[in-house]
Copies of this chain bind each other. A is one copy, B any other.
Amino acid sequence: MDKILRINMGADGGPSVTEVPVGEYAGLGGRALTSAIVAKEVPPLCHPLGEENKLVIAPGLLSGTVAAMSGRLSVGCKSPLTGGIKEANAGGMAAQVMARLGCAAIVLEGKPKPDTLYKVFVNKDGVKITEANDLKMLGNYDTVAKLQGEFGDKVACISIGQAGEMKMSAASVAVTDMEGRPTRHAGRGGVGAVMGAKGVKAVVLDDSGLGMRPAKDPEKFREANKEWVAGLKKHPVSGEGLPAYGTNVLTNVLNEAGGYPTHNFMWGRFEGHAKISGETLAALETERGGSATHGCHRGCIIQCSGIYNDKYGNYITKQPEYETVWAHGGNCGIDDLDVIAQLDRLDDDYGVDTIEMGATIAVAMEAGLAKFGDGEAAINLVKEVGKGSHLGRILGNGAAVTGKAFGVERVPVVKGQAMPAYDPRAVQGIGVTYATSTMGADHTAGYAVASNILNVGGSVDPLKAEGQVDLSRNLQIATAAVDSTGMCLFVAFPALDQPETFQALIDMINAFYGLSLTGDDVAALGKSVLTNEREFNKAAGFTNAHDRLPAYFSRDALPPHNIKFKVKDADLDDVFNW
């Protein structure tokens, strides 16, 4: 991982590649690297779809090694959805393959001529960029199938569907999983639209002939990884809950807590929750010959995913995540897993963020375009996005644009990005993260649900303002660091609760790179990532006024607790004071 591939899509005579040493960015990976490059090289006031923006794709520091859970891929740019800096990450195989190819980052730059689409192929012999007009307006599934036909089925693909080509602000970047399916998405913030604006349909990665990345101290690295794996296995969340039921284990938990947003954030409980819970989902997957326990990349030992088949046993989609089940399910009043799975498949195929799409459909339902609970109508609305109809152009640009188009006031977004599956009134800590994250409303940026609801990493009353700012601050710092390692965020559960597991992660990095980092260094890295991002956002015009939830969360009480968001503005402004 000592080189960066810079691909200028706007070069005279067609796209050109320059391979440069990592240089000043050495020692950074994942989000730390994407945010450093974007903050340094992208003018904060540029148009997200213009030539000055850059799409940075980067594996994490430990990707491509034998370290368990090290397969996250970061995608960064100026976001067309938020107007601020963006890092979205995904599982799947690409991070491991890219790291073994020695690429710390691929940077797509410039602006291509219109009407030509390209594909980028990277293997041990170098980079080839060729026309890909035959892939125009194909979904991710067909795109990947064609690419596998051309390059073999061992490659890892990073691609966009129709939404990215149409430069929609909800467009994602897809990454293929272990089965070569485009089911893993860097979903949030419209990163797929930026890839579309660069005219790149797919990046195909082939690590044939290359082995695992070698550690500086192989023995210490192996030992640390062993301790690491043991820690993940013994924690109840990463060792039991997630393998058995996946992330959707949270449906019943959040519903019980009264923090499960239903009908466009109108209520905190959904009467149909049991029909779409993780327990029901896992049983159904198993019954239909799919799988309830499955990993998204080699080296995953948590296996939080699964395979969702239809009633005839035919593959539909990977196991929909909790946030997807919520977005397309409870938030829209839909309690039918087959409908939700079909929506998940459509989203993956068109290449749109499931959270943004579900929140958007709920806003459209509030505007009267369909009835809450009408699954068929929801499917038809999402199909409009794939078609690129005028309605699809509205919906595919997310909840904020949809609210604007139809004059809806209750639009649950921060910095233009839709809130995920936790109501900030009943889970006040996540409200602090939604409000203040550099990314817009984002649960992964500082998952306060852990201590608010799951009693992981301590326990903070979810219904009170007290303690939420400290909780969110610490989690945001830790997350920025974890997002830089290539580690799946779910390692945070054991790492927060078990000091020896956190130490094992540091030991792995130290053994691999020949360093002697401490826990303080990790925190310093997290802070420096956030500082980079905050600086970019400030220059892009963000102020404290943008670190706020929509006003109605402080005005309208959420049943069943009949509670409002209570964290004071002045306290929100204290999140980044360290």
Contact = CB atoms under 8 A, between A and B. Distances in A.
A552 interface: yes
Nearest to A406: B393
A52 B550 CA distance: 13
A401 B409 contact: no
Contacts of A43: 551
Given A545-B44, A545-B541, A552 B50 contact: yes
Interface string A200-241: 000000000000000000000000000000000000000000
A45 interface: yes
A349 to B, nearest CB: 20
Given A391-B390, A401-B404, A50 B541 contact: no
Interface string A532-553: 0000001111110110101110
A496 interface: no
A49 interface: yes
Contacts of A552: 47, 50
A540 B541 CA distance: 12
Given A45-B551, A390-B390, A390-B391, A407 B167 contact: yes
Contacts of A405: 390, 393-394, 397, 401
Contacts of A397: 404-405
Residue in A196, A543, A548 whose Cβ sees the most chain B Cβ within 10 Å = A543
A393 B393 contact: no
Interface in A70-94: 80
Copies in the complex: 2
A197 interface: yes
A548 to B, nearest CB: 6
Interface string A43-64: 1111101101000000000000
Nearest to A111: B409
Contacts of A394: 390, 393-394, 405
Contact of A169 (B166, B393, B404): B404
A78 B546 CA distance: 16
B409 A551 contact: no
A334 interface: no
Contact of A166 (B44, B166, B407, B541): B407
Interface in A108-148: none
Contacts of A545: 44-45, 539-541
A146 B113 CA distance: 54
B50 A409 contact: yes
Contacts of A401: 401, 404-405
A297 B548 CA distance: 45
Nearest to A49: B409
Nearest to A554: B45
Residue in A50, A197, A404, A542 whose Cβ sees the most chain B Cβ within 10 Å = A404
A193 interface: yes
Residue in A46, A391, A393 whose Cβ sees the most chain B Cβ within 10 Å = A393
A168 interface: yes
Nearest to A52: B551
A538 B545 CA distance: 8
Contacts of A407: 49, 166-168, 193, 196-197
A46 B555 CA distance: 11
A64 B49 CA distance: 51
Contacts of A518: none
Interface string A402-446: 001111010000000000000000000000000000000000000
A389 interface: yes
Contact of A551 (B46, B193, B538, B551): B46
Interface string A145-172: 0000000000000000000001111000
Contacts of A542: 541, 543
A22 to B, nearest CB: 28
A10 to B, nearest CB: 13
Contacts of A167: 407
A551 B543 CA distance: 20
A401 B52 CA distance: 21
Contacts of A538: 543
Residue in A166, A389, A394 whose Cβ sees the most chain B Cβ within 10 Å = A394
A166 B408 CA distance: 10
Contact of A541 (B45, B404, B546, B550): B546
A406 B406 CA distance: 17
A379 to B, nearest CB: 18
Nearest to A193: B407
Interface string A21-60: 0000000000000000000000111110110100000000
A542 B546 CA distance: 10
Contacts of A393: 394, 405-406
A47 B551 contact: yes
Given A394-B390, A539-B545, A545-B44, A551 B50 contact: yes
26 contacts: A43-B551, A44-B545, A45-B545, A45-B548, A45-B551, A47-B409, A47-B551, A49-B409, A52-B551, A80-B404, A166-B407, A193-B407, A390-B390, A390-B394, A393-B406, A394-B405, A397-B404, A397-B405, A401-B401, A401-B404, A401-B405, A538-B543, A539-B545, A541-B543, A541-B545, A541-B546
List the 8 closest pairs (A to B, CB-CB), nearest first.
A167-B407, A541-B545, A390-B390, A390-B391, A393-B405, A47-B409, A50-B409, A49-B409
